[in-house]
Amino acid sequence: MGFSTSLQGQASHEALLGRQDAEIKLLETMKRCLTSKVKSDREYASTISSLSSQGKKVERCDDLVGSLITQSWRDIMDCIDQTAKLIKQQADSMENIVIDHINSLHSERRRARKLYQEEQTWLTNQFQQLSEDVARKKTEYQKNLEMYKLARSRFEEHYVKSGRGGRKLDDVREKYQKACRKLHLTHNEYVLLLGAVTDCEHDLRNCYLPSLLRRQQSIHQEFIVAWKKILQDTAKYSHFASEKFVEIQAQMKAAADSVNPLDEYKDFIGKHGTRPASPLRLSFDENLVDNTSGKLLPNKLTVDNLTIDWLRARLTELESSLKATQQNRQSIQPTENNSDLSKKTPLDYSREREELRLRCQEKKISRQTEIIRGALNELGCEELPSGCDLSMEGSFTEPSTQSKTSLKSKKFQKNLGPDNGLFTLRRNQHLLAMIKKSPLKYLPPVNDTNNIAMSHSAGSSPTPIRVNSSRYTVPSGLNNSTNNQKSSGGLIEEEWFHGVLPREEVVRLLVIEGDFLVRETTRNDECQIVLSVCWDGHKHFIVQTASEGHYRFEGPAFPSIPELIRHQWKSGLPVTSRSGAVLKTPILRERWELNNDDVILQEKIGRGNFGDVYKAKLRSCQTEVAVKTCKVTLPDEQKRKFLQEGRILKQYDHPNIVKLIGICVQKQPIMIVMELVAGGSLLTYLRKNSSSISQREQFRMCKDAAAGMRYLESKYCIHRDLAARNCLVGNESIVKISDFGMSREEEEYIVSDGMKQIPIKWTAPEALNFGKYTSLCDIWSYGVLMWEIFSKGGNPYSGMSNSQAREKIDAGYRLPAPDNTPDEVYKLMLRCWEYEPDKRPHFEQIYNIINALCQSHV
């Protein structure tokens, strides 16, 4: 237990300054008292010396010649005179040695306190400077973000008014692109700054501060050693020969000898010790990128045609600065020939501070260099993303107007935005020819004006197909017997072709070195086929078009994409020499991934958070199903949330859980296909049939919901949005749990993205106050669901706003029992609404209670 580990907090710092002030005051008190003692001792010595002289003046001494009594008296007076001289000698020593030492120690103590306070102030200013730098960059980020939003809205407004072109539209587009560039550059500077200041703050917190405190402890212990010597000298020069003085001297010596510098601050540390101060939480404000269409990601550099030049120039600049900083740091490090630098006192901070400053600067530059290098290396061989979202304009631009500018030119197209440089006009013409031959395989849906790549959900990762395994067969697209004339249009028939699978889902599916699949993406209204491989991370290679409509990477060209992929897989050769990526195992589509053409949409029956809900039929068996669609214009993050419901539902099988039939992601719009529950929403059913619903039917509805939730609880699934509106009513009034868009398959889930779209009046207090979700939060929601059932579709907390309801719940308010609700049911509701989660019953207990109540009310 020492200063460096136990006194890092602000309270410890203030306590240490207080201790130093108290010690300085103690020194002043000691000096004042010992000065008075010296004066008193001298006065006493002078008095008894004078007394001795008077005692020796014996009257009528001639008459006492030979008297033994007179001689004895004179001897006694001589002893008293010697005692006076000894007392004066000790007083002089006390003044010349002890008090002088106290004066010196007092001066050093004040100087040490001043230097320590200056170093602590410097450290505090450093931490404050780091926070201010981040806050200043964040403010700049917000300013540029507002300019970006304004430019973007003006662009969209003029685009709608002007149609395809015009000088005014060109001017607005140029301003929009400039705002995009400025936002992206500020984004990168913000990411780099966060990476740098984190390392700097870590060194200040974990290197310099402990070193400062260790030296302070050493200084304090040296002071205690000197202080102990002063106390010992005080005892020494207060020593007298009488028995009483000997006893007092022994006590003083014992008290002085009891001082141990190592244990001097033990009680002090135990009383004022604190945990090490928490490091500065310098994190990316994710709200900054909410309105950037997913192009800017938190804590990740944006590498696109707007930033690539800046990143490369910045990398060169940082490498030069790093080299200079390393040389400066080496120049101040002590060596055998530079003994002056290696000699330092405990109060010498300057050299170590300079070394720390250079080390922090070196780490900041090194960290920024690593971030930029990593971002550039991750780019792989795929085209640079477009910084500006001009896909809306590209949908109305003819392919022939596209620029032929290469990737290396890094210029902007006038009409289509930045060109990726990987597809030439020859390939565009070839694709148009294939579209004319087989338009259904290439044309997007009618409503797909933006042609945005869709999200994809595949649940748990599929079992990879291993070559030479007797358990699996080689997919037809990679077999040598495949028709060699199959063109790229046949990709949709290949099991390893995953349609519009986005990059984010590739990371989840490709988990073993060599796993690969083929997907489709769209950039600037241009279809691109991408080979994604798990290799030293994840690599994405665009299939390029060679002469005569053939396809290639770096090697030979082939007349169809399946043949090209088969060649790369069979040959074992790297896709590109730079990446070294080798194809080993194709990842096939899962059985529940349906083709969009397998589903025939019929009438619209509702609307969800992500799009419309339709009644539909499966083409193969004419089975009626319900289909949730996802709006084409939603950002990728929302589409991933939409498909999350399919991921969860595909593994559940329970009569009170709506069943998943499949997911369609081969083309737009992406869809979730589920069983059709004829009765519709439970909330609508309750309100429409409020006059005819019996209490027995209400009990059965609660029992069905409890059975479904008991099943979900056993699967560690937290629904998070249990309510009557999210339950469906089937045949014979059976209730099925639905709408798993907010669900999480975890025992505990902490919300980290704010409280957007949270159903406040159905959500447990701990989830609202702390963002912490467990199955016990669903218990609270189930209590509100019971209230909805027995109120026959009533509005909970009617007349209250969300904030008012939260305040009243925290204050102890609970919903009153609906009319004609049995006491046992309302007691169960109240148990579900216990403020402490651990006091609520689990769904197993709830089901047993409801089941017993059902039987007793038959």
What is the CATH classification number for the domain harbouring 692?
1.10.510.10
Residue 690 CB neighbour total at 10 angstroms: 12
Residue 601 pLDDT > 80? yes
In a domain, 739, yes or no: yes
Residue 326 CB neighbour total at 10 angstroms: 16
Residue of higher predicted confidence among 456 and 690: 690
Domain closes at, from 178, 211, 237: 237
Residue 193: what residue type? L
Residue 458 pLDDT > 50? no
Conformation bin of residue 172: beta by default, left when phi > 0, alpha when psi is -120 to 50: alpha
- Which pLDDT tens digit goes with each residue over 604-634? 988 877 889 999 998 888 889 999 998 888 7
Q: What angle do CA 311, 317, 320 make, to 5 degrees?
A: 140
Q: Domain check: are 720 and 848 in the same one?
A: yes
Q: Domain check: are 641 and 536 in the same one?
A: no
Give me the number of domains the chain comprises: 4
pLDDT of residue 747: 58
- Which pLDDT tens digit goes with each residue over 548-593? 789 998 889 999 999 999 999 999 999 998 889 999 999 988 777 7
Known binder of ligand: residue 605?
Answer: yes
Known binder of ligand: residue 628?
Answer: yes
pLDDT of residue 101: 93
pLDDT of residue 293: 63
Q: For residue 613, give the 3-state DSSP assignment.
A: strand
Specify the DSSP class assigned to residue 730: -
Q: Domain check: are 735 and 747 in the same one?
A: yes
Q: For residue 109, give the 3-state DSSP assignment.
A: helix
Backbone angles phi, psi at 538, to 5 degrees: -135, 130
What count of residues does the chain have? Answer: 858
Q: How many CA atoms lie within 13 A of 675 on its CB side?
A: 21
In a domain, 440, yes or no: no
| Closest listed residue to residue 773, CA positions, set 717, 845, 843, 711 | 717
* Out of 187-201, 344-358, 589-603, 624-638, least confident range: 344-358
Domain closes at, from 216, 237, 258: 237
Q: Domain check: are 207 and 91 in the same one?
A: yes
In a domain, 751, yes or no: yes
Known binder of ligand: residue 610?
Answer: yes
Place of tokens 């990737």: 407
Domain closes at, from 237, 271, 287: 237
User: 660, 673 in Cβ contact below 8 A?
Assistant: yes
User: 27, 106 in Cβ contact below 8 A?
Assistant: yes
Element (H, E) at 153: helix 100-162
What is the CATH classification number for the domain harbouring 564?
3.30.505.10
Residue of higher predicted confidence among 110 and 435: 110
Band the pLDDT of 835: cuts 50, 70, 90.
very high
In a domain, 414, yes or no: no
Q: Domain check: are 28 and 60 in the same one?
A: yes
Residue 510 pLDDT > 50? yes
pLDDT of residue 502: 63
Residue of higher predicted confidence among 338 and 376: 376
Q: Domain check: are 39 and 110 in the same one?
A: yes
pLDDT of residue 301: 87
Q: Domain check: are 91 and 185 in the same one?
A: yes
User: 751, 726 in Cβ contact below 8 A?
Assistant: no
Angle between helices 10-56 and 100-162 (to 10 degrees): 170
Residue 642 pLDDT > 50? yes
In a domain, 485, yes or no: no
In a domain, 369, yes or no: no
Known binder of ligand: residue 607?
Answer: yes
Known binder of ligand: residue 609?
Answer: yes
DSSP 767-794: HHHH-EE-HHHHHHHHHHHHHHHHTTSP
| Closest listed residue to residue 575, CA positions, set 533, 519, 537, 529 | 533
Residue of higher predicted confidence among 827 and 360: 827
pLDDT of residue 748: 58
- Which pLDDT tens digit goes with each residue over 369-381? 988 888 877 664 4
User: 392, 370 in Cβ contact below 8 A?
Assistant: no
Band the pLDDT of 461: cuts 50, 70, 90.
very low
pLDDT of residue 149: 92
Q: Domain check: are 618 and 738 in the same one?
A: no
Q: How far is CA 358 from the centre of its chain?
A: 28
Tell me the C-alpha distance between 407 and 523, whole Å.
14
Give the best-scoring range by mean pLDDT among 140-154, 264-278, 374-388.
140-154
Give the best-scoring range by mean pLDDT among 163-167, 719-723, 729-733, 836-840.
836-840
Q: For residue 271, give the 3-state DSSP assignment.
A: helix
pLDDT of residue 478: 43
User: 142, 124 in Cβ contact below 8 A?
Assistant: no
Q: Domain check: are 836 and 718 in the same one?
A: yes
What is the CATH classification number for the domain harbouring 116?
1.20.1270.60
Q: Report, as an integer, the average pLDDT of 643-656.
A: 82
In a domain, 716, yes or no: yes
Band the pLDDT of 665: cuts 50, 70, 90.
confident
> Which residues are CB-neighbours of 772 under 8 A, at least 6 positions away?
748, 749, 750, 751, 766
| Closest listed residue to residue 846, CA positions, set 699, 652, 648, 697 | 699
Residue 340 pLDDT > 60? no
Residue 674 CB neighbour total at 10 angstroms: 23
Question: What percent of the chain is predicted at pLDDT more than 90?
Answer: 33
Give me the active site residues, please: 721
Q: Report, as an integer, the average pLDDT of 514-519.
A: 92
CA distances from 403 to 163, 171, 663 (A): 20, 19, 37
Question: What percent of the chain is predicted at pLDDT more than 70?
Answer: 79
Where does 549-614 have alpha helices with state H?
A: 561-571
> Which residues are CB-neighbours of 674 under 8 A, at least 6 positions away?
625, 626, 627, 628, 649, 658, 659, 660, 661, 738
Band the pLDDT of 695: cuts 50, 70, 90.
very high
Q: Domain check: are 754 and 615 in the same one?
A: no
Q: Domain check: are 570 and 718 in the same one?
A: no
Where does 595-681 have alpha helices with state H?
A: 636-649
Q: Report, as an integer, the average pLDDT of 217-241.
A: 87
Q: What's the alpha-carbon Rg for the chain, to the nearest Å?
A: 42
Domain that holds residue 91: 13-237
Residue 817 pLDDT > 90? yes
Residue of higher predicted confidence among 619 and 271: 619
Band the pLDDT of 535: cuts 50, 70, 90.
very high
Q: Taken in order 606, 609, 611, 615, is the CA torsion positive or negative?
A: negative
Tell me the C-alpha distance between 400 and 526, whole Å.
12
Backbone angles phi, psi at 606, to 5 degrees: 175, -175
Strand-strand pairing, 624-629 and 612-618:
antiparallel
Where does 296-447 have alpha helices with state H?
A: 308-332, 339-342, 350-378, 391-394, 425-437
- Which pLDDT tens digit goes with each residue over 154-193? 888 888 776 666 788 888 888 989 999 999 999 999 999 8
Band the pLDDT of 345: cuts 50, 70, 90.
low
In a domain, 250, yes or no: no
pLDDT of residue 460: 33
pLDDT of residue 187: 93
Known binder of ligand: residue 224?
Answer: no
Known binder of ligand: residue 514?
Answer: no
What is the CATH classification number for the domain harbouring 604?
3.30.200.20
Residue 783 pLDDT > 90? yes
Please state the pTM of the whole predicted model.
Answer: 0.44
User: 516, 587 in Cβ contact below 8 A?
Assistant: yes
Known binder of ligand: residue 152?
Answer: no
pLDDT of residue 447: 32
| Closest listed residue to residue 635, CA positions, set 383, 149, 152, 291 | 291
Q: Domain check: are 715 and 783 in the same one?
A: yes
